A and B are shown apart, each in its own frame.
Chain A
């Protein structure tokens, strides 16, 4: 990685780079990129600004990216709601349990299919990869989950998405590139397969494990649809479904006529606060873990 980067930066100054046309291009290029950056950030700033603004300011359309009528009342209101906290805690629990199960299953399978000598390896890879291109679909899945009694249990959220084939292939290609001699040496020293995986392979795979934990945790944290389908009680919802219900309530109120605008506007505040609180954990870890995500994508693209 590092060597490639330096090679890329060394080649920068090319002849022809000082013509007038090129100078104009560079100014345009930088301007457009700054505009892109603003477009990317604007919705975040808008939500944060609204979450600190007063009802009246939002209702009169004065809030853009700076809070108007700064106050913390809405935060107090949302954080005083017991259901919000129950659902927030649910999200934490679902994410933790789901990520743990997903990591264990993905690691085991990736390790097995990374063994090139193994009989049936091709079939086992095929079983996984085929599901990327063809799946049962919503209705058969729904019937299955309801008929095995997963409704209103954590398992409906955790188990059906336990292995992401993309993550599986990322881990597989990582394991394939580990030095074989280490494992052979460990085998001679008397370690069995489980021992090699636990004492030799996993300590060498900390970076890829961290990446996988993050991939899974973010996707479970953000997921809402399985909970929306299979959970009937608000005390079982994750916070994403709580937020979805706020938004759906507000939008149906605003489309149903002028009389309901008050309701919709109060929740514009509340929606913003709930959104801020929901993305906050992701925003907090993002600066530190971004490079793991990028490296995970690169690893997956080596041979998908």
Chain B
């Protein structure tokens, strides 16, 4: 039984495949979908506008992608940008046996997961709180102020953190005010994760509400009325109507956050860490920066970078597939 359906399905599959192929062929010949030469003749001015941007993508995006080949080849500074001779996977086996690599990989995962857990729900909560406000002026004021950190250079944020957490800074003023002793936060590894994640939350919470606030205005008012008729209180209305209403937005942003969580704030860590905090602060990107650009092991660092990018790509593809299946929301 099953074999017949299978063969039947395969027959139809090939049949439809042939159909599409012939349809495409027919379209090419016909006047609807034009051939390349006809398209070029008709729209050459449009294509000409795309030349410079395409060159940009080719040179500054796709050439470096191909440059990753040096992860498999020996690279000599000043030599070919694609390396000198094949060495296979030796750089990969090198870093898999490198204890520092294992440490920074662990740090990357911990920082990435912590950031995701803390920074993903906060904007949703803030948006729900803002949504309960009666005064539009007050709401707009809070929004304007909470977007502000988004526009700051990461260097400024690092500078603020240094001053805020310095021995004479606000946090230590409070600690000593209560009779404690001042803590040198930025040179203690056990504080780094807290500092990183909370500053990340400070920076992103306000800007993150924009899309949720927009989604909240589209929730159907009739659903609230129906919920009220069923005797739902405010909390139940929020739980059963509001949250499902903004679920597509939540899923989309969750996919985006998951896809980028391996690329934890490289620039911020580079500015904030120091050798004392390496045990918790050093991540893949900062490690490969030091290995590659400060110690000139280009191929080794490129291998680590390629490993990181491939994991990132896998993460975003798989979280997209999962959310498509589970929640019916996807990026493409």
Question: CB within 8 Å of B: which residues of A?
Answer: 4-5, 7-9, 11-12, 14-17, 19, 21-22, 25-26, 29-30, 32-33, 36-37, 39-44, 46-47, 50, 58-61, 64, 105-106, 108-109, 111-113, 115, 118-120, 124, 127-129, 131, 133-144, 147, 159-160, 162-163, 192-194, 197, 218, 221-225, 229, 240-241, 243-244, 246-248, 250-252, 254-255, 264-265, 268, 271-272, 275, 278-279, 282, 286-287, 290, 293-294, 297-298, 301, 304
Contacts and interface: CB of A to CB of B under 8 A. Distances in A.
Given A112-B46, A254-B166, A287-B144, A301 B214 contact: yes
A41 B170 CA distance: 14
Nearest to B214: A298
Nearest to B302: A139
Nearest to B186: A251
20 contacts: A7-B217, A8-B216, A14-B224, A19-B233, A25-B132, A37-B146, A41-B145, A64-B170, A112-B53, A119-B36, A119-B43, A141-B64, A144-B63, A159-B56, A163-B56, A222-B155, A224-B155, A279-B156, A286-B151, A290-B147
A153 to B, nearest CB: 15
B187 interface: yes
Contacts of B39: 118-120
B50 A112 contact: yes
B145 A143 contact: no
Interface residues of B, number: 106
B45 A193 contact: yes
B326 interface: no
Contacts of A124: 50, 54
A297 to B, nearest CB: 5
Contact of A162 (B56, B202, B218, B276): B56
A290 B36 contact: no
A102 to B, nearest CB: 10
Contacts of B170: 42, 46, 64
Nearest to A160: B60
B221 interface: yes
A146 to B, nearest CB: 9
A112 B47 contact: yes
Contacts of A120: 36, 39
Contacts of B288: 138-139
B313 interface: yes
B315 to A, nearest CB: 10
B68 to A, nearest CB: 6
Interface string B314-330: 00110000000000000
B56 A144 contact: no
A255 B153 CA distance: 24
A271 B146 contact: no
B217 A4 contact: yes
Given A243-B159, A255-B274, A275-B156, A105 B56 contact: yes
A231 to B, nearest CB: 14
Interface in B190-230: 202, 205-206, 210-211, 214, 216-218, 221, 224, 228
B152 interface: yes
Nearest to B122: A36
Contacts of A271: 159, 162-163
Contacts of A131: 57, 61-62
A14 B226 CA distance: 12
Given A30-B133, A128-B57, A137-B306, A109 B65 contact: no
Nearest to A297: B210
Contacts of B316: 133
Interface in B274-332: 274, 276, 285, 288-289, 292-293, 298, 301-302, 305-306, 308-309, 312-313, 316-317, 331-332
Contacts of B164: 43, 46
